[in-house]
Amino acid sequence: MLELRGVTAGYGRTMVVNDINLVVPDDGAVSVMGHNGAGKTTLLRAAVGLLPVRSGSIFLGGEDVTKWRPNKRVRKGGLAYVPQGQLAFGQMTTMENLQAVADGRRNGKQKIDEMLDLFPVLKGLLGRKAGLLSGGQRQQLSIARALITEPKMLILDEPTEGIQPNVVAEIERVIVQFTQIGGLSVLLVEQHVGFALRAAGTYYVLESGRITSSGAGGEAAIADVRAAMAV
C-alpha cells in the first residue's frame, strides 16, 4: 500500500530522517517506534506529502507519488491522517464533528452509526461540545472522523499520548478489527511499545532519524524492541 525507498527529509538545512526504507502492506498494520526527537512525525509528514523529500521515493498503491501534493495523495490512495493532539472542532458538538465529515457522502448516516458502534463511549456524548471531552474521548472522535472517509490507509501519530489505559485498549481493538477484516492499511507512530506491537504485524525502530531495528510485531518482540530503544 505504501512504500518509502531511501527517503530523506527535514527542515531547512537540517535533515531529520535519513535513508528510510519502509513498507506498509495491503490490509496490514505497521508501527514506527522511537523516543521523542527520533523523527517519527517528520517521517509521517513526508509520507503524507506535507513535507517534501530531499531524496528517495514514495510509492502509494504501486505508483510513484513523491512529487504529488497531499490532496492528490489522499484522493489516489484514500489516505486519512490523524496527527497528534486529539484534534476536533472544539465549539461543535460530538455529533456535529461527525456530521461535518459525513455530510455529502452517500452513506454518511450509516458511517456515523458504524463509528458509534466502534466507539460506544461517543453515543453518550453526542450533544457535548468536543472541547469539553477528555483527551481519550477526543482521540476516539478524531479516529472516528477519519474512518468515516472510508480510507484505504489510516495514518496515526501517537494516538495513545496522554490518554488513559482503557482508551488505549479501545483504539487497539479498532485497529486490530479493521486489519483482520481487510480493506484498511495502518501506519502507526507510537511510543507505547506494548500497544504498538500488539496492533501491528511489523515494527520499525527509529533512532536519530534512521531505522535501527525492524521485525515482526506481537508480544514476543517486546523485549527486543525495548532493548533496541534503550541503546
- Find the Cα–Cα–Cα–Cα dihedral 56, 58, 63, 64, rounded to 10°: -40
Q: What is the mean pLDDT of each run of 10 residues along the chain (231 residues)?
A: 94 93 91 90 93 94 91 84 81 94 88 92 94 90 91 89 82 81 86 85 92 84 82 56
C-alpha cell of residue 201: 504485524
Q: What is the pLDDT of residue 86?
A: 65
Residues 6+ apart with CB under 8 A from 185: 1, 2, 24, 25, 26, 27, 28, 29, 152, 153, 154, 179
